[in-house]
C-alpha cells in the first residue's frame, strides 16, 4: 500500500511521536505535521527541531482536519486525550497510539469514543531509548525495529493497512497480535527488566556504602542498569496499566530468585553452573 498523509497530528512530540514525525518527513510521505500537547515550551522546542510544522496546545484544535492522529503521551494520559479528540473525530480520520501496554488504552478508547473507537488502531513500536523529550527524537529510531499492532475486531481493514504502511515507511517491520497477548509478552521482555533495573539501582542507592558501590560499578552494572535512567512517569504509567501481567512475572521471578538463593545456600556449584549455562545458551540464541 502506498502511503501519504496530507495532515498528521502528533499528540506528544517526545521521543516516540517526534521520531515518527521525523521519519515520515524524511521519507517525504507527510504534508503538514501539527503538534499538540499540554506544554507550550515542549511544543516550541519540537517546532525548532523541525519535528512539527506548527503547534497548538488545544488538542481538539490541533487534530481538526487531520488524516491521522498519533497519541504519543504517557499511558495514563491517553484517556484525557481521547476525551479531547472525541468532538473532532470525523469519518475518515484514523487514530493510533504508541503506548507500551495495549489493553488499558483500548479500554480508554472504548469508554470514551464508544462506536467511534473503531477508528482507533492500537500500536506499539518496540523501539526506544532511555531518553525522552523532543531532543531525544531521531528519524532512524524505528529502522529495522518491530512495531506490534493490536487491531480491534471492528477496525476497518483499510485503516489498519494505512497504519501498517505508515510504520513501514518509518523503517519498521510490522506484526499483529491480540492486545492481551501483547501485554503478556511485553510484561516479560520489557516491563519486568525495567522494573528490576529500577529496583536494583534504588536498592543499592540505599546502602550505606553506596558511594563505593557506584564508584566501582563496571560494565556489567552499566549494562544491567542503563534502563533505570528511563522516564519515571512513563514507567509508573506502564507499571499501573499492565499491573496484572507484571505481577505475574514478578511472582515467577521471585520464585526463581528463591531457587538461586537456595543453590547458593547449599553451595551447589553443579546446579549453579547448569543454570548459568542454560541462560548463556538462551542468550546466545537471541537475535538482538
Minimum distance from residue 259 beta carbon to ligand NAP (Å): 31
Which lies closer to ligand NAP via its Cβ, residue 26 or residue 38?
Answer: 38
Q: Is 218 left (phi over 0), alpha (psi -120 to 50) or beta?
A: beta
Q: How far apart are CA 112 and CA 117, in angstroms?
A: 8
Q: Which three cell numbers stand for residue 172?
A: 519498521
* Location of C-alpha cell 549453579: 272
Listed residue (187, 15, 206) closest to 98, CA to CA: 15
Burial 59-96 (b: 16+ CB within 10 A, else e): bbebbbebbbbbbbbbbbbbeebbebbeebbeeebbbb
Give yes or no for residue 15 binding ligand NAP (CB under 6 A).
yes
Which 76-135 positions form the footprint of ligand NAP (CB under 6 A)?
Answer: 77, 98-100, 124-125, 128, 132-133
Which 205-244 positions form the footprint of ligand NAP (CB under 6 A)?
Answer: 231, 234, 238
Give yes or no for residue 16 binding ligand NAP (CB under 6 A).
yes
Count of chain residues binding ligand NAP (CB under 6 A): 26
Which 251-270 positions form the footprint of ligand NAP (CB under 6 A)?
Answer: none
Which lies closer to ligand NAP via its Cβ, residue 74 or residue 151?
Answer: 74
Q: Which residue stretch of 31-39, 60-68, 217-225, 249-257 sits at the interface with ligand NAP (rule: CB under 6 A)?
A: 31-39
Minimum distance from residue 11 beta carbon to ligand NAP (Å): 6
Minimum distance from residue 78 beta carbon to ligand NAP (Å): 7
Which lies closer to ligand NAP via its Cβ, residue 159 or residue 237?
Answer: 237
Q: Give the residue, chosen from 3, 5, 9, 13, that forms a contact with ligand NAP under the rule CB under 6 A.
A: 13
Burial 14-28 (b: 16+ CB within 10 A, else e): bbbbbbbbbbbbebe
Burial 33-56 (b: 16+ CB within 10 A, else e): bbbbbeeeebbebbbeeebbbebb
The side-by-side arrangement of strands in the sheet containing 173-176 is: 123-126, 146-149, 173-176
Give yes or no for residue 69 binding ligand NAP (CB under 6 A).
no
Q: Which residue stretch of 37-45, 243-251, 259-267, 279-287 sits at the interface with ligand NAP (rule: CB under 6 A)?
A: 37-45
Which lies closer to ligand NAP via its Cβ, residue 13 or residue 103?
Answer: 13
Contacts 24+ apart (CB under 8 A), 263-272: none
Per CB under 6 A, residues contacting ligand NAP are 12-17, 37-39, 42, 72-75, 77, 98-100, 124-125, 128, 132-133, 231, 234, 238
Amino acid at each position: 500500500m502506498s502511503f501519504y498523509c496530507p495532515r498528521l497530528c502528533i499528540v506528544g512530540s517526545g521521543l516516540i511521536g517526534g521520531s515518527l514525525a521525523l521519519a515520515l518527513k524524511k521519507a517525504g510521505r507527510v504534508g503538514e505535521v501539527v503538534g499538540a500537547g499540554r506544554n507550550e515550551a515542549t511544543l516550541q522546542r519540537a517546532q525548532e527541531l523541525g519535528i512539527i510544522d506548527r503547534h497548538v496546545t488545544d488538542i481538539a484544535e490541533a487534530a481538526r482536519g487531520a488524516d491521522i492522529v498519533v497519541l504519543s503521551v504517557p499511558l495514563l494520559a491517553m484517556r484525557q486525550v481521547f476525551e479531547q479528540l472525541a468532538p473532532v473525530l470525523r469519518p475518515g480520520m484514523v487514530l493510533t497510539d504508541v503506548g507500551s501496554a495495549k489493553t488499558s488504552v483500548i479500554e480508554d478508547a472504548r469508554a470514551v469514543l464508544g462506536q467511534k473507537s473503531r477508528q482507533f488502531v492500537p500500536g506499539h513500536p518496540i523501539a526506544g531509548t532511555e531518553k525522552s523529550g523532543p531532543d531525544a527524537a531521531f528519524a532512524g529510531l524505528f529502522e529495522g525495529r518491530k512495531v506490534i499492532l493490536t487491531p480491534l475486531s471492528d477496525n476497518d481493514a483499510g485503516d489498519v493497512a494505512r497504519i501498517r504502511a505508515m510504520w513501514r515507511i518509518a523503517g519498521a517491520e510490522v506484526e499483529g497480535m491480540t492486545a492481551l497477548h501483547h501485554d503478556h509478552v511485553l510484561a516479560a521482555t520489557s516491563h519486568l527488566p525495567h522494573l528490576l533495573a529500577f529496583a536494583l539501582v534504588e536498592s543499592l542507592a540505599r546502602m550505606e556504602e553506596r558511594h563505593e558501590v557506584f564508584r566501582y560499578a563496571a560494565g556489567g552494572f552499566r549494562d544491567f542498569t542503563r534502563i533505570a535512567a528511563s522516564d519515571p512517569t512513563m514507567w509508573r504509567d506502564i507499571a499501573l496499566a499492565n499491573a496484572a501481567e507484571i505481577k505475574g512475572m514478578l511472582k515467577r521471578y521471585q520464585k526463581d530468585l528463591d531457587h538461586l538463593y537456595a543453590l547458593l545456600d547449599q553451595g551447589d556449584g553443579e546446579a549453579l553452573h547448569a543454570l548459568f549455562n542454560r541462560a548463556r545458551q538462551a542468550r546466545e540464541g537471541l537475535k538482538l
